[in-house]
Amino acid sequence: MIKVLFFAILLAQKACSQDRWDWVRIDCGSDTSYKDSNGDTWDSDDDYIKTGDNKQVASTNSSDIEQLNTLRVFSEQNKNCYTVPTPTSTRYFVRAMFWYGNYDGLSKPPTFDLEFDGNKWATVVTNTTSFTYYEMIYATKGDSISICLARTRDQEFPFISRLESLPLPDDLYPQMRRDMAWFISYRYNYGADDRILGYPDDQYNRIWEPQIPPGLNSVTANFTSLDETSVNVPPDSAIIKAVEASATDTINLSFGFDNMSHLDHVEMYFTEPFLETSETRSFNITVNGNFVNTTIPEYKICTSVWANLQSIGTLDIQLVPTEDSTLAPIISAIEVYTISQPLVIATTSQNDLDGLEEFIDTFDQLKGWSGDPCLPNDTIWQWLNCSTNQPPRVTSIYLSGFGLQGYLPNFSQMDALEVIDLHNNKLSGEIPDFLGKLPNLRLLDLRDNDFSGCVPQSITNNKQINYMIDENENSSCRKSKNAATIGSSIGSVIMLALLGYCCYYCCCRGSKQTDPSPTESTVEFIPAPAPAPAPVPQVIVQQTVEVHQVVRN
């Protein structure tokens, strides 16, 4: 997570076209698509999501960044997902931005979850003073990425201000594992104190925050462009400024994390800002106490040094001058990425996805539901329960009181269903026969609808299903299974009592007789709550330290 104060914010967006990259830019909350003053196209939400309401930030909180003055807020569903096309089979750079701007006048910025393709991305903690953004690099698995916002707190509604994605060249960040996502934790343009660098300074849309750590001196090179640069192509304007230690002191850089174990990918960028033939500059780089590289910066050449290593808590980097160095250590820029948890291997079962699609296609009230219904397992669609199997299965459907009208679609492929609760709607037509053939179904609640006809024998003959169909006025057979069972049991008790009385009367007519009083019984089926999803175990990646130094002509 990165929070940026509004002072001196400049995210320029102009110059070179990115159409060949299939760049997606969404101005969330905008009523129409448009071209900005630099000719770049910003889309409205309509082609990417069907839920949510467009809002404007308060006039007193307007931003110089045009796209942050509108937002899309989601107050109805617990999970709302953008479908972002990824026509190129490669890794994508994705950024989501959030500016609360007191759009609702309540001064209560919400907290919620950000997800991608069924995986947790981040917990978004918004505030009243700054915008927040999240970036990741991710190898797509299909022709789109699902970016979801999930409500995790009562009355705290998710929103989003801006969403962007673009494919990256294969040779950028070659040391990052392709089977995981990488989240940006820190990216600094050292030595700068005036403005944030973004596109078009950075052709890959990365944001570089200005930073001068305490005790270090800002240095500006005596040139304005590089002759050679790193394979990751940082913007020249981020490299020509740097920070330098005093005399021959050590540079100490610390980056805070929580106390959980995490794998970090660090990229450090260096250049020699002045051509001094009589001086030498060299220093050793250590990360968390592990030696990484001895670096000698070169004039007008950007060199990058990278390391992958495990950390717990703080990530510490030291640049220590070598014995023969006459100049202090120097650094121009740095990036720190953190690896994701292991990505989900299998999405929700395709049978269940197909069955849910039948519901969504049939009923207007469900049109906005998208994304993976069962993943992550702590933000399941609010009208479902799911198993924790791989792949997850939908085990319960709870659509009571949703105002559904018309015939039930055929969702017979959802063969893991144990509970179907559709009572208090306006469903009509005959009760489908396939419901009684679902192998795991235990409870079927169709009360208070407009079904007609009798309950199919596939249901009435299925001893494991407790079904309820009362208050269907058009049905000629409205008893539930429980009611029918109770009536039959009471009738049997009465018949046995009469038969016993007759026998007793014939055999013992003169004796004192008492009438048996049959006892009534009632049966109530209460479905057990679904078990809470099992926590996903954290996988600890084996500690590694790798070293690489590259330049590109």
Same domain, 155 and 275: no
CA terminus-to-terminus distance, the chain = 33
Q: What percent of the chain stands above pLDDT 70?
A: 82
Above 70 in pLDDT, residue 388? yes
**SS3 assignment, position 252:** strand
Please write the tens of the pLDDT for every residue from 162-188: 999 999 999 999 999 999 999 999 999
- Characterise 275 by phi-psi region: left (phi > 0), alpha (psi -120 to 50), beta (else): beta
Query: What is d(CA 118, CA 376) in angstroms, rounded to the nearest whole number?
Result: 5
Above 70 in pLDDT, residue 511? no
* Domain-terminating residue out of 443, 468, 493: 468
Query: What is d(CA 83, CA 95) in angstroms, rounded to the nearest whole number?
Result: 14
Same domain, 335 and 354: no
CATH number of the domain at 128, please.
2.60.120.430
Quickly state the pLDDT bin for 104 (edges 50, 70, 90): very high
Looking at the domain assignment, is residue 484 inside a domain? Answer: no
Same domain, 219 and 71: no
Looking at the domain assignment, is residue 529 inside a domain? Answer: no
Same domain, 326 and 208: yes
Same domain, 48 and 157: yes
Domain that holds residue 416: 350-468
Looking at the domain assignment, is residue 196 inside a domain? Answer: yes
Same domain, 147 and 222: no
Q: What is the pLDDT of residue 183?
A: 98
Same domain, 144 and 206: no
The amino acid that residue 542 corresponds to is: Q
Same domain, 219 and 101: no
* Domain-terminating residue out of 284, 307, 339: 339
Please write the tens of the pLDDT for every residue from 244-266: 998 779 999 999 998 788 899 99
Same domain, 323 and 248: yes
Give me the number of domains the chain comprises: 3
Q: What is the pLDDT of residue 145?
A: 95
Strand-strand pairing, 53-56 and 70-73: antiparallel
CATH number of the domain at 315, please.
2.60.120
Query: What is d(CA 156, CA 154) in angstroms, rounded to the nearest whole number?
Result: 6
Please write the tens of the pLDDT for every residue from 340-386: 999 998 889 999 999 999 999 999 999 989 999 999 999 999 999 99
Spatial contact of 416 and 385, defined as CB atoms under 8 Å apart: no
Looking at the domain assignment, is residue 114 inside a domain? Answer: yes
Same domain, 24 and 161: yes
Average pLDDT over residues 193-204: 90
Task: Report phi then psi at 106, rounded to 5.
Answer: -100, -15
CA distances from 390 to 344, 350, 377 (A): 9, 12, 11
Q: What is the pLDDT of residue 498?
A: 52
Above 70 in pLDDT, residue 536? no
Query: What is d(CA 412, CA 138) in angstroms, rounded to the nearest whole number?
Result: 35
Same domain, 162 and 54: yes
Q: What is the pLDDT of residue 471?
A: 85
* Domain-terminating residue out of 429, 445, 468: 468
CATH number of the domain at 356, please.
3.80.10.10
Same domain, 42 and 91: yes
Query: What is d(CA 323, CA 261) in angstroms, rounded to the nearest whole number?
Result: 34
Looking at the domain assignment, is residue 237 inside a domain? Answer: yes
DSSP assigned state of 165: E
Q: Is 152 exposed, middle or buried (0-12, 13-18, 19+ CB in 10 A)?
A: middle
Looking at the domain assignment, is residue 487 inside a domain? Answer: no
Quickly state the pLDDT bin for 38 (edges 50, 70, 90): confident
pTM beyond 0.95, yes or no? no
